[in-house]
Amino acid sequence: MPSPYTFADPRLAKLDGFKVEIDEAHERADIILGRPPYNVVAMPQRDQLRLTFETLDEDPRVRIIVLRGEGEHFSSGGNIGGFMEASPEHVSKLAWNIAAPARCAKPVIVANRGYCFGVGFELSLACDFRIASETTQYALPEQKLGQIPGSGGSARLQKMVGITRTKDIVMRSKRISAKQALEWGIATECVPDSELEKATDKLVDELRSFSPLAQRTAKKLLNDTEDSTLAIAMELEGHCYSRLRQSEDFKEGVEAFNAKRPPKFVGR
């Protein structure tokens, strides 16, 4: 059963608007946004979220990190008043904080339902897998405030869906349904609302069946080569493949395949 996560870092002694649970039996940690009904993300919360992802990334008990929200909405976005109160130095760190899921070596899954707006959308875009309930609506509404997305939203979207669709979302503050997000390649899966937790659990178990070392390598390789030329990407892929051939997990994978048995990966 999941239990509250205990942090050694004093900066995480009192979490601002979210909680963390760990399920050691399933090698899983859940970061749960907890300001229902809309799970608004406060300015100080963003730095804490970054620290939390960094802490979980170093915890040997955790293989998979899941990000989700309490209630019927993932997050309606940030605390608007907080932007006017924050210092320029603080604001300049917003994108770095929200990019924490992408920097994690471990796989990060986000479970979206209901409103997924502003920083809620940007945080989701930084994750590796986005499972969307059919109730999910994605949006970057900053134009309505005389602003633009400031935590990587437009940049990540343009990589995923191209400039035309990104302009449609950003410049019109347009809402995108879960079905459309799946069709455009924003969402990994789209499931009925009642099956969101089940689909998340299933993906966690699937990812745990693979080699931790191979997964970390694949994530870093894909992130590092996103903006590279094809020739450089293929060169780096070859180097990573060569290194993994020396691993215990690759040897175990081959032996298990030949013996027609499930592999027992150890992450080395």
164 vs 136, 157, 187, 188, 226, CA distance in Å?
A: 22, 10, 18, 21, 19
Q: What is the pLDDT of residues 18-58, one digit of tens each?
A: 999 999 999 999 999 999 999 999 988 999 999 999 999 99
210-257 sits in which CATH class? mainly alpha
Confidence (pTM)? 0.94
**Does residue 66 register a pLDDT over 80?**
yes
d(CA 233, CA 236): 5
CATH of 1-207, one of 1.10.1040.10, 3.90.226.10, 3.40.630.30, 3.30.300.30: 3.90.226.10
Q: Which two tokens stand for residue 187?
A: 């969402």
DSSP letters spanning 3-28:
EEPPPSSGGGSS-SSEEEEEEGGGTE
Q: How many angstroms separate the CA atoms of 79 and 166, rounded? A: 24
In the chain, where are the structural domains located? 1-207, 210-257
79 band by pLDDT with thresholds 50, 70 and 90: confident
| CA distance linking residue 69 with residue 30, whole number of Å | 10
Q: Which pLDDT score is estimated for 1?
A: 83
